[in-house]
């Protein structure tokens, strides 16, 4: 039975990954800070699920999870956060916490997982990035920059480890209905319903693209078109349409 470790499994896209991978026959290790929610998820998934509570913005949390990666066949680096304040209003501590989770944890856990995978000649890492990683959308927000790192890192490392039989892929969803925006205090009430994706669909698309050997996966045609625009539109044109989705109050 292959083993998958999913970070940020207590809600949203991570919980959807855990449920789908469990149904696909993986033994699960589920990671997040909220031990109670992880235990409830594990009870749903069955006896083989292992609960590993950890705060991935801390060294102790990262070490505990890195130490568990030895026999893991699929690592899903999914835990991530945004902030509801622009860089000028934010504190350096909050920005550092965001980078520790969105960037440093992804690097550290990928680095810990790859030696076992390359020596076995099999395995995969999915790093959950964002459609916003392709351009500096949301003026004043540092979140897209953190995700730009995740996308470039995954593509770069994915190219290097392919010859060892190992895959690394960035999964870049657009707006997905999870707790992500409410946790950050971002008002999304004016976002039209057609822009929202379902976490289960994001996961299914990502796993399909991983099986196809893609290095970067963008679920849903709407966001494929948007990403094409972000990659190819002149920056000046793009800047005029880029919007900050955060609420006025939060700035």
Ligand X SMILES: NC(=O)c1ccc[n+]([C@@H]2O[C@H](COP(=O)([O-])OP(=O)(O)OC[C@H]3O[C@@H](n4cnc5c(N)ncnc54)[C@H](OP(=O)(O)O)[C@@H]3O)[C@@H](O)[C@H]2O)c1
Selected from 4, 42, 74, 80, the binder of ligand X by CB under 6 A is 80
Active site residue 26: no
Q: How many residues does the chain have?
A: 251
Say whether residue 11 binds ligand X (CB under 6 A): yes
Total binding residues for ligand X by CB under 6 A?
Answer: 29
Q: Which of 3, 84, 110, 130 binds ligand X (CB under 6 A)?
A: 130
Beta pairing class for 50-53 and 74-77: unpaired
Choose between 3 and 132: whose C-beta lies nearer to ligand X.
132
- Residue 179 CB, nearest distance to ligand X (Å)? 4
d(C-alpha 32, C-alpha 133), whole Å: 23
| Per-residue contact flags (x/-) with ligand X for residues 181 to 220, judged by CB under 6 A | --x-------------------------------------
Of 45, 55, 76, 113, the one binding ligand X by CB under 6 A: 55
Which string of DSSP letters, residue by residue, matches 179-234?
Answer: SHHHHHT---TTS-GGG-B-HHHHHHHHHHHHHTT-SEE--SHHHHHHHHHHHHS-
Specify the residue for token string 């998820």. Answer: 41
CA contacts within 13 A on the Cβ side of 207: 19
**Cα separations in angstroms, 16 against 11, 51, 57, 158, 212:** 8, 16, 22, 23, 20
Asked if 128 touches ligand X (CB under 6 A), the answer is yes
Binding to ligand X by CB under 6 A, coded x per residue (else -) over 81-120, reads: x-------------------x-------------------
Q: What is the CA radius of gyration of the chain?
A: 17
Of 4, 5, 10, 27, which one interacts with ligand X (CB under 6 A)? Answer: 10
Residue from the set 28, 30, 56, 125 that interacts with ligand X by CB under 6 A: 56
Binding test (CB under 6 A) with ligand X, winner from 178, 205, 209, 226: 178
In the complex, what is the shortest distance from the CB of residue 219 to ligand X, in angstroms, rounded to a whole number? Answer: 10
E strands present in the chain: 3-7, 27-32, 50-53, 74-77, 123-128, 166-171, 216-217
Of the listed pieces 19-27, 75-83, 87-95, 117-125, which binds ligand X according to CB under 6 A? Answer: 75-83
Give all strands (DSSP E) within 55-184, no chain letters. 74-77, 123-128, 166-171
> Where do contacts with ligand X occur on this chain (CB under 6 A)?
7-14, 32-34, 37, 55-57, 78-81, 101, 128, 130, 173, 175-176, 178-180, 183
The residues annotated as belonging to the active site are 143
């Amino acid at each position: 039975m292959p083993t998958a470790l999913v970070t940020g499994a207590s809600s949203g896209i991570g919980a959807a990954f855990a449920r789908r991978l469990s149904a696909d026959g993986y033994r699960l290790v589920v990671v997040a800070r909220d031990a109670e929610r992880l235990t409830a998820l594990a009870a749903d998934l069955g006896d083989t699920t292992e609960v590993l509570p950890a705060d991935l913005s801390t060294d102790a949390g990262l070490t505990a999870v890195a130490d568990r990666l030895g026999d893991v066949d699929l690592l899903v680096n999914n835990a991530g956060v945004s902030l509801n304040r622009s860089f000028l209003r934010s504190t350096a501590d909050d920005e550092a916490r965001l980078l520790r989770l969105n960037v440093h944890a992804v690097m550290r856990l990928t680095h810990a997982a790859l030696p076992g995978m390359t020596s076995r000649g099999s395995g995969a890492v999915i790093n959950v990035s964002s459609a916003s990683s392709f351009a500096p959308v949301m003026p004043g927000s540092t979140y897209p920059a953190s995700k730009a790192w995740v996308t470039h890192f995954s593509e770069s490392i994915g190219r290097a480890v392919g010859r060892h039989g190992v895959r690394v892929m960035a999964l870049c969803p657009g707006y997905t209905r999870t707790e992500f925006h409410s946790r950050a205090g971002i008002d999304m009430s004016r976002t039209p319903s057609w822009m929202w994706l379902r976490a289960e669909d994001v996961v299914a698309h990502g796993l399909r693209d991983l099986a196809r050997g893609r290095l970067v996966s963008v679920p849903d045609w709407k966001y494929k078109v948007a990403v094409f625009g972000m990659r190819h539109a002149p920056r000046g044109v793009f800047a005029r349409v880029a919007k900050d989705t955060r609420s006025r109050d939060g700035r």
